[in-house]
Amino acid sequence: MSETDKLPSGRARINSLEMRGITKRFPGVLASDHVDFDVKSGEVHALLGENGAGKSTLMKILYGLYHPDEGEVLINGKPVRISSPTDSINLGIGMIHQHFMLVQTMTVAENVALGLPSSRGALTDLDRVSKRIVELADIYGLRIDPSAYIWQLSVGQQQRVEIIKALYRGAALLILDEPTAVLTPQEVDELFVIMNQMVRDGHGLVFISHKLHEVVEISHRISVLRDGRMIGTRLTSETTKQDLANWMVGREVGFTPDRGQVECGGPRLQLKDVSCGSDRGTPGLRGISIDVCSGEILGIAGVSGNGQRELAETITGLRKTTGGQVFLEGNDITGFSPSDVTDRMLSYIPEERMRDGMIKDFTVAENMILREHEKMPYSRYGFLNLREISQHADQLIKKFHVKTPSRETHAKNLSGGNIQKIVLAREIFRTPRVIIAAQPTRGLDIGATEYVREQLLEQRKQGVAIMLISEDLDEILALSDRIAVIYEGQVMDIVPRAEATPAKLGLLMAGVHPEETPA
């Protein structure tokens, strides 16, 4: 083996990895249908596709978590057998999972050492592991303290731990499963620097994402999966975002929703110096003052865990305030119960739609009247009016294009997009005055995302005041009229749409005022 075949970590390169004719059946679903895919040393190969297109299935097969029914994997032209993660690790394949595979209560070094043989036999050799982590961190430009506990690290740092973990195990080829989903724009830039460095050093990278602009920025080649089938592979330089989107969805996609011009009316929702606690007992909100006007979408941008959940819950009455006041159309609703807030025509699309947005074991029809079930015409004197409920359900299913076998189907059997349509239908149909939409498109595919956004814009046109809480900056920028950035429970700044750029918002999200940093 010549020196050029080696990676900076000292391990051999994987010059080529090929998956041929991979087929995987789950009961009732063909998750992967004779898929061919390959990665070479020194390239980023992006794998694009909607939810359920089979990206994760394909990569879980490569990583040994699933076993294919048909097909083979070849490394440097030779067939290999991968029946467990251990096999794939030994072959030099590493995976950065979308949900980090880290033990929060253990240190960086412990997380890296986990599952590996120790030089001291049955005893751990954390000192040696730490030394090697520092070495690798130097080579690849990943700053990390091996003795830090995972829970002390930011999301971006945790991701670096995941990368180090894979490199420590000698990964020559890395699968990055939606690595940017949880990062701030600055962290994404840093990740891309690291990825480019790794590619120059001879690693091969598989980059899974559904964010087109990122895919176009970082990858050399792009493959698109749809319904378990490989639609095609192209050089990044020879394709456009619009082509890719159409490939993914299988039809023409409206790329930027038509926002239209809407007159902003008077303030419908006002927060004055609102504070509250968080689940951890620390302050959740620290004196937030915001107005949302009629016919306006106010975007709330911020890194996860900076008060978004608390904000939605205080407004909707689910969480007690510790200070300040909330006004709905001029009336003080501070301390109101959730049902009193609801009665004043405030609608809420919760962040955890499966947990807070609906009851999984209830039928579609039942879920559609959850909020109004005590009111006429759905019930009278405590008795449900089943005929009215059924008609109501049929009407909403039709109007909101919910794909469901029937109104009696249990909600848990529907896809994420259709579940969100049910929530949306329930919350919008009652003609609310104010809508709080928390992460309304998280986890949805392009088609469903497009639909949800159109509906929100339609409500805006009707004059509804909408607060859009989202960690997806693209979404914030696409929909909002004004953007409030929150950081550690405080509003950093409120920026009009026209003046907002990802870079500016990114700094605010990290707690930095742009003017404070030297240019």
Pick the closer one to another protein by CB: 66 or 207. Answer: 66
Name residues whose C-beta falls within 8 Å of residue 240's C-beta, 6 or more positions apart in sequence. Answer: none
HSE value, Cβ hemisphere, 13 Å, CA-based, for 121: 1
Distance in Å, CB of 236 to another protein, minimum: 29
277, 309 contact by CB (below 8 A)? no
Distance in Å, CB of 66 to another protein, minimum: 7
Instruction: Give the chain's length.
Output: 519
Pick the closer one to another protein by CB: 89 or 230. Answer: 89
71, 22 contact by CB (below 8 A)? yes
Pick the closer one to another protein by CB: 166 or 466. Answer: 166
513, 492 contact by CB (below 8 A)? yes
HSE value, Cβ hemisphere, 13 Å, CA-based, for 212: 18
Strand partners, 285: 276
Distance in Å, CB of 384 to another protein, minimum: 32
Pick the closer one to another protein by CB: 120 or 461. Answer: 120
308, 472 contact by CB (below 8 A)? no
Pick the closer one to another protein by CB: 7 or 126. Answer: 126
Distance in Å, CB of 458 to another protein, minimum: 33
Torsions phi, psi for 364 (to 5 deg): -55, -45
Residue 494 amino acid letter: I
User: Which residue, chain included where needed, has tokens 């979408």?
Assistant: 297
Binding positions for another protein, rule: CB under 8 A: 60, 63, 65-66, 84-86, 89, 95, 97, 99-106, 110-111, 113-118, 122-124, 165
Q: Whole-angstrom distance between the N-terminal and C-terminal Cα of the chain? A: 48
Distance of CA 494 to the CA centre of its chain: 24
HSE value, Cβ hemisphere, 13 Å, CA-based, for 125: 13
Pick the closer one to another protein by CB: 126 or 315. Answer: 126
Instruction: Give DSSP secondary structure letters for 233-264.
Output: EEEGGG--HHHHHHHHHTS----S--------
Signed CA dihedral, 500, 506, 507, 509: sign only: positive
Pick the closer one to another protein by CB: 106 or 318. Answer: 106
Distance in Å, CB of 135 to another protein, minimum: 20
Which of these, 342, 344, 341, 405, lies nearest to 369 by C-alpha position? 342
Distance in Å, CB of 417 to another protein, minimum: 17
Distance in Å, CB of 28 to another protein, minimum: 16
Pick the closer one to another protein by CB: 99 or 143. Answer: 99
Pick the closer one to another protein by CB: 52 or 284. Answer: 52
Pick the closer one to another protein by CB: 63 or 451. Answer: 63
Distance in Å, CB of 253 to another protein, minimum: 27
Which of these, 173, 43, 190, 188, lies nearest to 96 by C-alpha position? 173
Distance in Å, CB of 295 to another protein, minimum: 40
Name residues whose C-beta falls within 8 Å of residue 378's C-beta, 6 or more positions apart in sequence. Answer: 369, 372, 384, 385, 388, 389, 392
Torsions phi, psi for 495 (to 5 deg): -115, 130
Distance in Å, CB of 85 to another protein, minimum: 5
Spatial distance between the Cα atoms of 189 and 180, rounded to a whole number of angstroms: 10
Spatial distance between the Cα atoms of 215 and 154, rounded to a whole number of angstroms: 24
